[in-house]
Amino acid sequence: MHPQSRKKYVAIVGLAIFSILISACASGSDPVEPTAAQEVGPAGGEGGEHGEDEHEPEEHMEGAHDVPDVAAAVPNPFVGDEESVAAGARLYATNCAICHGETGEGDGPAAPGLDMPPSDLHEGHVQENSDGALFYIISHGKPDTPMPAWDNVLDEDERWHVVSFLRTFQED
């Protein structure tokens, strides 16, 4: 009987160690997500009205804007083209200045009536976007903000012209 019950003992102990290891591994990876989510939550800084949005970790991070990498990587086909800048200036004056202001500082005549201030388009967090990312934001607008989508208003070339023009704000 001895050898057999020893075998049984070894098996049980082995199993116990095994399951401890498994649970250690599992819990080892656990803390990563909640910690990241908690850090992002309060940093949104929108006044705490909305409770906790557990499922949107990085959506509201500055500069990220949910622009897919593929879209952000698309180059402006008109880069360096003076006529594109001039066309963009006209399109901007007609479509964007009412909110973002003639000179892009976010102080257009419609700005005071909006739920949230239009971005100052000279700012670093705007200008550090790639051309493709700006094109994407302009095309799709920004969900849950007054920033409209322009893909039904301006054709593709026109949206690139606007991007060309926005780059002239960079010097400020």
List contacts with ligand HEC (CB under 6 A).
95-96, 98-100, 110, 114, 116, 118-119, 126, 134, 137-138, 142, 145-148, 150, 162
Closer to ligand HEC by CB, 44 or 148: give it. Answer: 148
Best CA proximity match to 161, nearest among 102, 72, 70, 91: 91
Best CA proximity match to 95, nearest among 63, 87, 77: 87
CB of 154 to ligand HEC, least distance (A): 6
CB of 140 to ligand HEC, least distance (A): 11
Closer to ligand HEC by CB, 23 or 145: give it. Answer: 145
Closer to ligand HEC by CB, 81 or 123: give it. Answer: 123
Closer to ligand HEC by CB, 95 or 130: give it. Answer: 95
Buried b (16+ CB within 10 A) or exposed e, 99-131: bbbeebbbbbeebeeeeeebbbbbeeebeebbb
CB of 14 to ligand HEC, least distance (A): 57
**Residue 143 and residue 158: Cα distance in Å, rounded?**
21
Sole residue written with tokens 């879209």: 71
